[in-house]
C-alpha cells in the first residue's frame, strides 16, 4: 500500500503532466502573483490556468509549504502583530530543525504543524505567540500550561513572549510532541 508521501508525489507528477509545468514553476508563479491567501491562489490557478479545484488546492498547499511558512507568516503578522514576527521565525527555525517531514498547514489564524498527525500549532495573540502542543500524559508546569479553553485539539500551551523564549526547554517539548506524532 502506498504511503501518503508517495500518493502526494504521484499527485504532483500528474499535475505537472496535465498542466505542462514543473511544480517549481507553479510555485514561482504563485510567488510572483503576490497572492498569499489559499483561496485566492486556488481561484487564480483555476480561472487563469484552467486547473481543476483539486489540482489548484494541492499546488497552493505545496507552494505554501515550499515557502517555509512565509506566506502564512505575512498574513498572520500584520499591523500590531508585526512585532511578533521574530518570535514566529525563531519557532519556525526550531520546527525546521526537527526534520524535513513536518508539514505546515496554514489556517486563517494560525499554522498547524503535522507529521503523520498534528502535533503543534503556532498562533499569534495580542502580545505573544501561542505554541499549542499535543503532549498527552505530560504534567503541566507554570510555563507548559494546560490548554484549557485555548484550543480543544491541544493538551498544552506555551506563551512565547520573545524570541529568546524559544530555548532548550521549549524545543524539548516541541521535539517530544513531534516524536509522538511520527
- In order along its 182 residues, the chain shows pLDDT tens digits of 566 677 778 888 999 999 999 988 898 888 888 887 888 999 999 999 999 999 998 898 888 777 654 444 567 887 888 899 899 989 999 998 998 888 887 777 888 899 989 999 999 999 999 999 999 999 999 999 999 888 889 999 999 999 999 999 999 999 999 999 98
HSE-CB of 38 using CA atoms within 13 angstroms: 20
Predicted local confidence at residue 44, as pLDDT: 94
pLDDT at 70: 45
* Backbone φ and ψ of 68, nearest 5°: 65, 25
Q: What is the pLDDT of residue 71?
A: 45
Give the burial class of 73: count Cβ atoms within 10 A of its Cβ; 0-12 exposed, 13-18 middle, 19 or more buried. buried
- The SS3 call for residue 29 is helix
> What pLDDT, on the 0 to 100 scale, is given for residue 30?
87
Cell 506566506 appears where?
Answer: 71
Question: According to the model, what pLDDT value does residue 34 have?
Answer: 80
Is residue 111 within 8 A of residue 149, CB to CB? The reply is: no
Instruction: Supply the pTM of this predicted model.
Output: 0.64
Query: What is the DSSP secondary-structure string of 60-80?
Result: HHHHHHHTTTHHHHHHHS-GG
Amino acid at each position: 500500500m502506498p504511503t501518503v508521501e508517495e500518493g502526494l508525489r504521484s499527485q504532483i507528477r500528474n499535475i505537472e503532466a496535465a498542466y505542462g509545468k514543473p511544480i517549481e514553476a507553479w510555485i514561482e508563479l504563485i510567488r510572483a502573483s503576490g497572492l498569499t491567501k489559499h483561496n485566492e491562489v486556488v481561484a487564480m490557478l483555476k480561472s487563469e490556468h484552467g486547473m481543476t479545484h483539486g489540482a489548484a488546492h494541492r499546488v497552493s498547499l505545496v507552494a505554501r509549504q515550499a515557502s517555509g511558512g512565509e506566506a502564512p507568516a505575512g498574513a498572520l503578522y500584520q499591523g500590531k502583530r508585526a512585532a511578533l514576527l521574530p518570535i514566529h521565525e525563531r519557532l519556525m527555525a526550531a520546527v525546521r530543525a526537527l526534520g524535513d517531514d513536518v508539514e505546515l498547514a496554514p489556517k486563517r489564524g494560525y499554522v498547524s504543524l503535522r507529521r503523520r498527525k498534528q502535533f503543534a500549532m503556532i498562533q499569534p495573540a495580542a502580545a505573544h505567540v501561542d505554541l499549542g502542543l499535543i503532549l498527552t500524559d505530560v504534567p503541566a508546569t507554570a510555563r507548559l500550561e494546560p490548554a484549557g479553553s485555548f484550543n480543544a485539539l491541544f493538551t498544552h500551551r506555551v506563551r512565547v513572549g520573545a524570541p529568546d523564549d524559544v530555548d532548550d526547554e521549549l524545543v524539548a517539548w516541541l521535539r517530544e510532541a513531534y516524536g509522538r506524532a511520527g
